[in-house]
Amino acid sequence: MVEKNGAQGGTGLPASIEAAWGLRERPVKGPKPGLTLDRIVAAALTIAATEGLSAVSMGRVAKDLGASTMALYRYVSAKDELYVLMQEAAMGPPAPLPALESGAGWREALGEWAASQREVFHRNLWMLRIPIAGPPASPNSVAWWDQGLQALDGSGLREGDKISVILLVSGFVRNEALLMSDLAAAVEARGVPAQDVMAAWEHTLSRLVDPARHPALSRLMDSGVLSEPDQPDYEFTFGLARLLDGIDVLVQRRRAEDGDGNG
């Protein structure tokens, strides 16, 4: 991630990336005893987890730590930098992929990578509200990308293909998590169980859908599929499987083009 304002540190890198990689000198003694970068990031994470990303500000973090806002700026140069450090801490390094270790193949490995990434998002839904300002450049985000590329080893895909596949899959994971987050927030705002919200929506549609004007939607309503019990994670596993099917078509095409007859 890159600063929106392009602020550069002493290495010529964005200030947030310097901080994430530990390339910036930190104060030897803070203006307040016990004030450290780790404590600042931890306080910001607590606020984001309990109140959402919008509640995070330099002033609010300083207040929770019992310090002045100016004191924080000795450690963190701007809120955008704090966002990068928060995301870095919440993501953590990627866990080992069983499929990679067992040599199960690219499809299984990439599926595990996507599911693992989704778990991180679902544990830290506030991360989805951080604006994307550039390609991944912090230590853990780079490690996640590297692991995704490793999952495609042996696929026969070209390096450019691999980048596009990682963008495609990570974009799907992010979008699915964001959609689920928004739906969960809407359900919570109504203060009723999710199944009741869906039942009310189906009832509304049944009164508004006209078979003449909405023939496809009418057939869907008549099928009764909307009334079937909810299957947790179904949309994610369905969508991911279709993505992997499409990627497999590309894998087979590249192998044929490169003369690899091993399938």
Beta bridge partners of 8: 14
CA pair distance 36, 52, nearest whole angstrom: 23
Task: Answer with the one of 91, 124, 141 that is the final residue of a domain.
Answer: 91
210-243 per-position pLDDT tens digit: 999 999 999 998 998 888 877 778 899 999 999 9
Both 85 and 128 in a single domain? no
Q: Distances in Å between the alpha carbon of 196 and those of 5, 185, 200, 201, 223?
A: 46, 15, 6, 9, 20
Query: Is the residue at 158 inside a domain?
Result: yes
Same domain, 242 and 122: yes
Q: Are residues 51 and 172 in the same domain?
A: no
| 46 and 110 belong to one structural domain | no
150 lies in the same domain as 242: yes
Residue type, 224: G
Q: Of 91, 111, 129, which residue sits at a domain end?
A: 91
Distances from the Cα of 256 to the Cα of 93, 106, 209, 260, angstroms: 36, 17, 48, 6
> What's the CATH number where 248 sits?
1.10.357.10
Is 147 part of any domain? yes
Q: What is the mean pLDDT of the chain?
A: 88
86 and 128 co-located in one domain = no
Q: Tokens 């009334």 identify what position?
A: 227
| Residue 213: CB atoms within 10 Å | 9
The pLDDT assigned to 174 comes to 95
- CATH assignment of the domain containing 20: 1.10.10.60
Residue with tokens 């000198």: 25
Is 128 a domain residue?
yes
Q: Scanning the structure block, which residue is given the tokens 């809120």?
A: 79
Residues 177 and 241 in one domain: yes
Of 64, 91, 118, the residue at which a domain comes to its end is 91
Q: What is the C-alpha to C-alpha distance for residues 214 and 206, in angstroms, rounded to an integer?
A: 11
Number of domains in the chain: 2
Measured between alpha carbons, how far is 186 from 197 in angstroms, rounded to an integer? 9
Residue 199 has pLDDT above 50, yes or no: yes
> Are 41 and 82 within one domain?
yes
What is the reported pTM? Answer: 0.85
Of 76, 71, 116, nearest to 93 by C-alpha is 116
Task: Provide the residue range defining the domain that includes 129.
Answer: 98-191+231-257
In total, the chain counts a number of residues equal to 263
The answer to whether the CB of 130 falls within 8 A of the CB of 83 is yes
Q: Which pLDDT tens digit goes with each residue over 37-82? A: 999 999 999 999 999 999 999 999 999 999 999 999 999 988 999 9
